[in-house]
Structure 1
């Protein structure tokens, strides 16, 4: 009976769902584990991102006969130097532009009021559906403000825990750079030769997937930020540095990020001059075309091999479930899960008879 492949698949599915059901009945056992993982998530994820950006340099120094511990200290010195440069030169300029933006908010509000008065004077040309929707939003502004205020109060406590976890990142990063290469050999010694080889292959594939995404996305986003800053300076857009940095950060979100980064630049351009808004749109389009046609193919290639429609679907789902953090991490998380499933499927295929290696 169990020699039939369909029966084996059905039994396996039943066992998996039974295991999931049993786990749901014993959540109290896993709650401490979940709390522990939540507590260390910020330093591990933050240190992991920096690790994949800096580890190639540590490996290069090690190939040049520099001891790994010395290479790790060199990386920390470079990180301190970069932070010093940012704090000394970039942060004051961004702060100055932000302060100027805050000072100009009343003018923007006055302009918005004038536009609203113009709209009221021409209500006969506005569709009733649009008018009702806009009036509903205006009527509920106070309610939205109360919700935002209560949300801010609830977030204050989380900020303190996040800041504490953030300061643990250097400690995690130090040991990742210094001893990260020992992890795979340490686990492999407890496995049989065949399973150890499979484990090394799996970790190598996961490492390649994460490094391709993180390193590539970092380089691509940095290049886009530079292009946006140069373009905004050329067209004379106000708050150019702050808007370019915002575009750099948003570019870490595939597909959706470039559109999100364009919104504040266009809005600022509209208050400055309609022609500036048009030029800001053109700058954004040119930068994204250069990134998508020249930079990304040469930097990232097709390492992740994820279809664009899959990316869009994942981003929509992750944004609704986990918000901004979901947008940032859904693509690498999906790529890792896909790598793991592909690996175990390949291992399963190797154990099947040659005449019938497929599932169905």
Structure 2
């Protein structure tokens, strides 16, 4: 009798879904109770995450070159060495020509900080002298910002220190990236066939399809975002030179890096340029804003549609939500990697859902 009742209940799709959810949450709870077993694994993954992620990004940028050379009948190992020579050549150019200019501009910026602070104090004094012309509804807001200025400054400073700490951690692990990159370029294509040897024929096809989809998703995002960011950086640099904005190269490089953060990156990169332009000459802040708007309009209407298209098919509201959550949880690195991580997870879920749907009876194909 009990078996018949259970069989009858499990014929209902809602009961099956509820039971599956209960099993999943039970598994998560059991894992949380035995998390001490997984802590060494987590520590190991954390230690190698920087070189793997760094090498992975460079791999997806340079792998098309190796593939193209291989199609030209050049051995893959030779193509890998050629890519390393190109990277070494690019690094040499950056060290000899770009880095000295950036270092000089940064030193000049540090030297001009007292002047900026003095100008800010003068503006504050002018505001106090003319406080009577400010509408009453704005006085409380301005006073609140003024009273909590030190607290805001401490938060900004701690955030900057956190970013600098993450950068130093990345630099510390940077020397491992070439080793990981070499073997990724040389043997990366062997991963899927190697794992497939241990799978049945049906699972082998599924695994190869899944890895191909993940590879396409990551390549589309990283290669496209790299090209778009470089184009934006070049446009910003040309625009800053035209309006004669100080620290133009450093600000353009900052804009290039920030553009890797989808949607919010362009707005974040505009803030330093506007601040520097305002203290250089108030009208310069307006010109810096115009340069940023023009560059972003060209990028969003011309470059991105042709370079990236709709490769990830992620709604803008989803992007904003993910970035806000990742920024609060993982800081700057979270902002950089949340979108490709979400795209990979989305690809995996979509793959298994399609396979599950194909196995369902024709009269009952849907999940809900």
- On whether the aligned pair clears a TM of 0.5, the verdict is yes
Report matched runs for 1:157-172 at 5 Å.
162-172=170-180
**2:126 aligned with 1:118, yes or no?**
yes
The runs of 5 or more residues in structure 2 that have no matched partner are 1-7
The runs of 5 or more residues in structure 1 that have no matched partner are none
**2:93 aligned with 1:85, yes or no?**
yes
**2:144 aligned with 1:136, yes or no?**
no
Corresponding residue of 1:41: 49
Q: From the superposition, tell whether residues 198 and 255 of structure 1 become closer, same or farther in structure 2 (CA, over 3 Å).
A: same
**2:53 aligned with 1:53, yes or no?**
no
**2:285 aligned with 1:270, yes or no?**
no
Q: From the superposition, tell whether residues 279 and 195 of structure 1 become closer, same or farther in structure 2 (CA, over 3 Å).
A: same
Aligned-residue Cα RMSD (Å) equals: 2.1
- Offset, 1:13: 1.1
Q: From the superposition, tell whether residues 222 and 163 of structure 1 become closer, same or farther in structure 2 (CA, over 3 Å).
A: closer
Give, in whole Å, the separation in 2 of the partners of 1:91 and 1:117.
39
- Offset, 1:268: 1.1
**2:206 aligned with 1:206, yes or no?**
no
- Offset, 1:317: 1.1
- Offset, 1:146: 12
Corresponding residue of 1:254: 262
Give, in whole Å, the separation in 2 of the partners of 1:210 and 1:71.
22
Give, in whole Å, the separation in 2 of the partners of 1:203 and 1:36.
24
Q: From the superposition, tell whether residues 160 and 114 of structure 1 become closer, same or farther in structure 2 (CA, over 3 Å).
A: closer
**2:254 aligned with 1:243, yes or no?**
no
Instruction: Identify the match of residue 227 of structure 1 among 226, 232, 235.
Output: 235
- Offset, 1:204: 0.3
Give, in whole Å, the separation in 2 of the partners of 1:269 and 1:261.
13
Relative to the length of structure 1, the TM-score reads 0.94
Corresponding residue of 2:5: none
Q: From the superposition, tell whether residues 248 and 155 of structure 1 become closer, same or farther in structure 2 (CA, over 3 Å).
A: closer
Instruction: Identify the match of residue 339 of structure 1 among 342, 347, 350.
Output: 347
- Offset, 1:8: 1.5
Instruction: Identify the match of residue 325 of structure 1 among 319, 330, 333.
Output: 333
Q: From the superposition, tell whether residues 238 and 213 of structure 1 become closer, same or farther in structure 2 (CA, over 3 Å).
A: same
Report matched runs for 1:56-75 at 5 Å.
56-75=64-83
Give, in whole Å, the separation in 1 of the partners of 2:178 and 2:315.
35
Give, in whole Å, the separation in 2 of the partners of 1:306 and 1:99.
41
**2:203 aligned with 1:192, yes or no?**
no
Deviates more, 1:127-136 or 1:54-63: 127-136
Relative to the length of structure 2, the TM-score reads 0.92
- Offset, 1:145: 8.6
- Offset, 1:239: 0.8
| Contact kept in structure 1, 2:163 and 2:332, CA below 8 Å | no
